[in-house]
């Protein structure tokens, strides 16, 4: 009779389980047998849980099943019976549980979103911060909502294509192609880390509409540049900063961000140079680490503009960048990226000329109209990274062409003065006086 009772199961009633409280007789949890090795525990704090006690390989062990009432009595009893079935097969229930958790965690780590974030965190150290931010933003916006929770190994080419068709259907072919490229990066990484065996993006070559690259609008003929200069120098904007920033954009060949973020400490008046830290030059982080700051020769005209701006120089607190073109609203910020675009649009150059387009304007005009144009010096002034078939080329080719650039920038400024002064702007070869 006693033996039969010892083997009895399902001893604990639902009412008992609901109302059970700790006895207060011990600092350990009260343990109540439900039979068959299943126990109901009530902690001193009142928490309730289930555990299964068993013997395996001559050792007494405990399998923690879960908390009550999240794990009901019926579920706990089934878990006990399942554990007993494993024991009959010689399998330790604890080891089996750990294996299942590992499998679940592995599966969770193999979703498209998880693999993407893993790859991103691995690669971003070598990426430009702005590029990294944009890279992840487009994935979060377009791919994660549809594919993010799917096991990456289960994603097929048709599935990926259906997602890319959405921006393509809205006319955003650039976005579609960018997503295809970035997804391809993720799938390659997944293959390298044994999360999938194929790259479905690779098969999409030619499946998307061709993307036509729209370069920054830029004026490139002397007559067009002349009219632009006349309009710029007669422009009355909201502040002196705007017209000065436009003038320097035309004179210096620099990216709009480098113009807007220019700081007074970057200017060497005695050497007539502007030194842009390597962190401000567009490139990968590795390339930035390997290259020196970008030194920009300043023409007499550029110096004059900057000297004129000195009278408006603000006093800034310690730790605040001393911007040449500060924001009118926030002393700790520089001029916004929309200011120069807005000025050009207000002059009627929307879709014809952008602040970034001044770089193309300068390069094209010099190559077409300057008899002594030096391509290497132009590229160095533009701060273009050196790319070639030799992967070490950029590391060893550090030619800055400074002597040529000093002469070139003064000749370019003089040329713009000729146009600005209203001289004939036909396609006449400009033959500047060469310096010794």
Domain ranges of the chain: 2-108, 112-204, 222-420
20-26 contact pairs (CB < 8 A, 24+): 20/48, 21/46, 22/46
Indicate the helix (H) or strand (E) that contains 150. Answer: none
- Indicate the fold that domain 112-204 takes in CATH: DNA polymerase; domain 1 (1.10.150)
Q: So what's the pLDDT on residue 179?
A: 93
* Cα-Cα end-to-end distance for the chain: 117
Q: Are 241 and 312 in contact (CB under 8 A)?
A: yes
CATH number for the domain formed by residue range(s) 222-420:
1.10.443.10
Q: So what's the pLDDT on residue 433?
A: 42
Among the listed residues 246, 249, 257, 308, the one whose alpha carbon sits nearest the alpha carbon of residue 281: 257
Strands (DSSP E) found in 240-290: 267-268, 273-276
Token pair of 372 as six digits? 């002594």
Q: So what's the pLDDT on residue 110?
A: 85
Strands in 294-297's sheet, in edge-to-edge order, are 267-268, 273-276, 294-297
What is the spatial distance between Cα 198 and Cα 191, in angstroms, rounded to a whole number? Answer: 7
Q: So what's the pLDDT on residue 4?
A: 39
* Residue matched to tokens 């632009």: 228
Q: So what's the pLDDT on residue 67?
A: 94
- Indicate the fold that domain 2-108 takes in CATH: Double Stranded RNA Binding Domain (3.30.160)
What is the spatial distance between Cα 22 and Cα 14, in angstroms, rounded to a whole number? Answer: 17
Question: Residues with Cβ < 8 Å from 310, sequence gap 6 or more?
Answer: none
* Residue matched to tokens 């020769």: 297
Q: How many CB atoms lie within 10 A of CB 332?
A: 12
Question: Residues with Cβ < 8 Å from 125, sequence gap 6 or more?
Answer: 285
Q: So what's the pLDDT on residue 401?
A: 85
Ranges in the chain, pLDDT < 70? 1-7, 102-109, 128, 211-216, 237-238, 279-291, 385-399, 423-436
271-279 contact pairs (CB < 8 A, 24+): 272/297, 272/298, 272/299, 272/303, 273/297, 273/298, 274/298, 276/383
CA atoms within 13 A on the CB side of 304: 7
Token pair of 275 as six digits? 């030194």
What is the spatial distance between Cα 180 and Cα 163, in angstroms, rounded to a whole number? Answer: 10
Question: Residues with Cβ < 8 Å from 327, sequence gap 6 or more?
Answer: 333, 334, 335, 336
pLDDT in tens, 281-319: 544 444 444 457 899 999 999 999 999 999 989 888 888
**Residue 423: phi, psi to the nearest 5?**
-70, 160
């Amino acid at each position: 009779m006693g033996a039969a009772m010892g083997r009895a199961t399902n001893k604990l009633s639902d009412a008992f389980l609901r109302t059970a409280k700790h006895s207060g007789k011990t600092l350990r949890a009260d343990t109540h047998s439900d039979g068959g090795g299943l126990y109901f525990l009530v902690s001193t704090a009142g928490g309730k849980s289930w555990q299964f006690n068993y013997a395996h390989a001559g050792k007494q062990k405990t399998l923690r099943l879960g908390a009550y009432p999240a794990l009901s009595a019926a579920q706990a009893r089934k878990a006990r019976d399942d554990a007993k079935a494993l024991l009959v097969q010689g399998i330790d229930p604890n080891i089996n549980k750990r294996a299942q958790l590992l499998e679940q965690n592995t599966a969770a780590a193999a979703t498209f979103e998880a693999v993407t974030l893993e790859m991103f965190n691995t690669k971003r150290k070598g990426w430009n911060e702005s590029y990294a931010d944009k890279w992840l933003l487009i994935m979060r916006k377009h791919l994660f909502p549809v594919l993010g929770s799917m096991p990456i190994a289960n994603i097929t080419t048709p599935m990926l294509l259906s997602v890319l068709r959405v921006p393509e259907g809205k006319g955003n072919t650039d976005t579609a192609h960018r997503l295809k490229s970035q997804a391809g990066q993720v799938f390659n990484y997944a293959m390298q880390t044994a999360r999938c065996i194929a790259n479905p993006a690779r098969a999409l070559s030619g499946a998307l509409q061709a993307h036509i690259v729209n370069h920054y609008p830029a004026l490139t003929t002397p007559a067009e540049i002349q009219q632009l200069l006349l309009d710029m120098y007669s422009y009355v904007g909201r502040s002196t900063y705007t017209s000065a920033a436009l003038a320097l954009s035309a004179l210096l060949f620099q990216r709009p961000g480098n113009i807007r973020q220019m700081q007074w400490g970057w200017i060497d008046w005695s050497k007539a140079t502007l030194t842009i830290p390597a962190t401000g030059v567009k490139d990968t982080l590795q390339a930035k680490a390997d290259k020196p700051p970008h030194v920009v020769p300043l023409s007499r005209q550029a110096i004059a503009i900057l000297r004129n701006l000195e009278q408006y120089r603000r006093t800034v607190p310690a730790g605040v960048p001393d911007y040449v073109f500060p924001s009118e609203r926030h002393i700790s910020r520089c001029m916004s990226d929309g200011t120069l675009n807005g000025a050009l649009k207000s002059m009627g150059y929307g879709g014809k000329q952008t602040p970034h387009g001044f770089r193309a304007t300068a390069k094209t005009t010099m190559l077409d109209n300057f008899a002594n144009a030096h391509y290497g010096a132009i590229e160095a002034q533009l701060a273009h990274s050196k790319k070639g078939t030799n992967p070490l080329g950029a590391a060893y080719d550090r030619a800055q062409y400074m002597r040529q650039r000093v002469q070139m920038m003064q000749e370019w400024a003089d040329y713009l003065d000729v146009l600005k002064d209203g001289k004939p702007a036909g396609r006449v070869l400009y033959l500047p006086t060469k310096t010794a």
